[in-house]
Amino acid sequence: MASLNISMPPALEQWVDTRLAQGRYADAADYVRDLIRRDQEAAEDGRQWVRDKIEEGFASGVIDAEPEDVLREIMARLPDG
């Protein structure tokens, strides 16, 4: 396992100490590993959202209108349009 040495300002160190005192984490390294895992999960969730939107776009089909005409039609439907 790799080792990582980080410096942090006192306020962040106090935050980590508070989290450790709550008993959920064994030590600061355990806390940091958990934060990194959560960040990885959030990044994957974001990628999945993009994949879902791409699939939704593909499933919606293709229209033969010019992009400018489509935008004009959409903008005309807006409340202040």
Question: Whole-structure pTM over 0.75, yes or no?
Answer: no
Segments making up each domain of the chain, as ranges: 10-77
Q: For each of the chain's 81 residues, which pLDDT tens digit applies?
A: 889 999 999 999 999 999 999 999 999 999 999 999 999 999 999 999 999 999 999 999 888 999 999 999 999 999 885
Contact criterion met (CB below 8 Å) for 75 and 81: yes
Contact predicate 75/68, CB 8 Å:
no
